[in-house]
Homo-oligomer: A and B are copies of this chain.
Amino acid sequence: MSERRGALILSLPGSEDLAASIARQLDLPHGELEWRRFPDGESYVRIHDDPGGRDVVVVARLDHPDEKLATLLFTADLVREQGARRIGLVSPYLPYMRQDMRFNPGEAVTSRPFARWLSAAFDWLVTVDPHLHRYASLDELYSLRSRVVEAAPALAGWIAREVDDPVLIGPDGESEQWVGAVAAFRELPWRVFTKKRHGDRDVTLQLPDLEGLTGHTPVLVDDIISSGTTMAEATRHLLGAGMRAPLAVGVHGLFGDRARDTLKDAGLSRIVCTNSVEVPESRIDLTPLLAEVVGEWLRG
């Protein structure tokens, strides 16, 4: 048995900033993971620190997961082979959570095998607000130990600091719990759109009662900004009701092909999200919340 040594933070390419910040807050070394792609598309991975006997924390933004999967698994395999004590994964956005059931015959329920691969490679996982829709918790999918960080306090803090007289707005009923939690942190007023069904496929948003809040600045809050269509529709309703131009605040800014145009065209004044995904809109730093939980793991 080798002696237990101090923990080591590593980062996948594209997540160096997150890892450096977490390492700084925990006063831990941010090791060097060398990575490059050979001309034939294969990955080259090399670790310049000795992980022997250490807890190793791999920090990896996992949006666009397919292109990162091999590098992530090679890294975990390498670190384990070189004698790491335990290997943790800090992935602020956890992908493949939305494919959580077979909607049509023969479809892959990709959330399950993806969870198996990560569970086999790592000992523990920290993520932020995973899209738990049909799963009650990550434990239904992931066999490793996991901790979910809630971005709500970071979102609430940013909104309270940056927005005058905010009223938080959930763009649809599914966001109710979520928006309420963010609002609670700073005792902010909040409302939620409801969906009104007019037929099989015809669903419209129903504006909530905004009496007494018309002078406030609406802040649309959601966990994932993806296509932007629901937020855009909510924006048009709010503007139609004479409200100020709303802001959109999301946890995970995935931004599909035309999402930014869709949102801007609808009349949003600003779009902001956390740094779980590396996008220009990342204004809300999750690393204080992540560092706290990583620190608890490492002491455990």
Contact = CB atoms under 8 A, between A and B. Distances in A.
Interface string A250-268: 0000111101000000000
Size range of the chain A interface in the assembly: 35 or more
Contacts of A107: 44-46
A41 interface: yes
A42 interface: yes
A82 interface: yes
What is the count of identical protomers in the complex? Answer: 2
Interface in A237-282: 254-257, 259
Contacts of A44: 99, 107-108, 110
Nearest to A107: B46
A41, A71, A112 — most chain B CB neighbours (10 Å)? A41
Contacts of A48: 106
A215 interface: no
A158 interface: no
A184 B38 CA distance: 34
Interface string A72-108: 0111011000100000000000011011000010111
Interface stretch (A14-22, A60-68, A146-154, A287-295): A60-68
A98 B41 CA distance: 12
Interface in A100-124: 104, 106-108, 110, 112-114, 117
A113 B72 CA distance: 12
Nearest to A95: B42
A48 B254 CA distance: 29
Contacts of A230: none
A38 B224 CA distance: 14
B70 A41 contact: no
Contact of A113 (B74, B108, B227, B256): B74
Contacts of A199: none
Contacts of A39: 226-227, 254-257, 259
Given A47-B106, A74-B110, A74-B113, A41 B69 contact: no
Interface string A23-58: 000000000000001111111111111100000000
A65 B41 contact: yes
Contacts of A256: 38-40
Contact of A46 (B45, B95, B108): B108
Interface of A: 37-50, 63-67, 69-71, 73-75, 77-78, 82, 95-96, 98-99, 104, 106-108, 110, 112-114, 117, 226-227, 254-257, 259
Those 10 A-B pairs whose CB atoms lie nearest each other, nearest first: A39-B256, A41-B64, A45-B108, A66-B70, A77-B113, A78-B108, A40-B254, A47-B106, A46-B107, A46-B106
22 contacts: A39-B254, A39-B255, A40-B63, A40-B95, A40-B254, A40-B256, A42-B65, A42-B98, A42-B110, A44-B99, A45-B107, A45-B108, A45-B110, A46-B106, A47-B108, A49-B106, A66-B67, A69-B70, A70-B114, A74-B110, A75-B108, A82-B106
